[in-house]
Structure 1
Amino acid sequence: MFKKHQIYKTDKYNMLTVEVQGKTLIVREITDQWGEECHTFVSRPQLMHWAENRFREDDFVGREEEREAIMNALREV
């Protein structure tokens, strides 16, 4: 049984989930711009490195709390 974590979901076209399959972390990101993207990571540090680049502070100016909530949810996976 795989454990699935919902990181955020604004609607059915914008969401991010992480599936834990043993030591493998599978991130599924659905956006209304690019459709579904799937990323596979073999460690949590690798996942967090991707997240730091994907959710850059510069992109969340004025929405720092939103970014912090996403990063905290990813850390708790």
Structure 2
Amino acid sequence: MFTKHTVYKHDNYNMLTVEVQGKTLVVREISDQWGEVCHKFISRPEMMDWAEKRFLATDFPDGEEGLRETMEKLKSI
């Protein structure tokens, strides 16, 4: 059984989810610009390294606060 976590959901077209599939973490980025992009990680540190390189405060409607909340949610998975 998989556990699905919604990290953020700005609307039906812009969201980030993480599915925990045993030892694998499947991150799905859904955006109105790129559609759905899927990333698979074999460890949480690998996922966090990707997230730190991937996201900037300017990617979020509420800036630094949105970035901080997203990183905290990812760390808690």
Given the two structures, how large is their TM-score scaled by the length of structure 1?
A: 0.92
Q: CA RMSD in A?
A: 1.6
Paired letter, 2:13: Y
Instruction: Supply the distance in 2 between the matched residues of 1:65 and 1:56 (Cα, whole angstroms).
Output: 11
Structure 1 counterpart SS, 2:5: strand
Paired letter, 1:4: K
Q: Point out where structure 1 has 5 or more consecutive residues left out of the alignment.
A: none
Equivalenced residue count is 76
Instruction: Supply the distance in 2 between the matched residues of 1:42 and 1:18 (Cα, whole angstroms).
Output: 13
User: Deviation digits for residues 5-61 of structure 1, max 9, x if unmatched?
Assistant: 00000111000000000110000000000000000000000000000011135x36x
Q: Which residue of 1 aligns with 2:11?
A: 11
Structure 1 counterpart SS, 2:70: helix
Q: Which residue of 1 aligns with 2:41?
A: 41
Q: Point out where structure 2 has 5 or more consecutive residues left out of the alignment.
A: none
Paired letter, 2:75: R
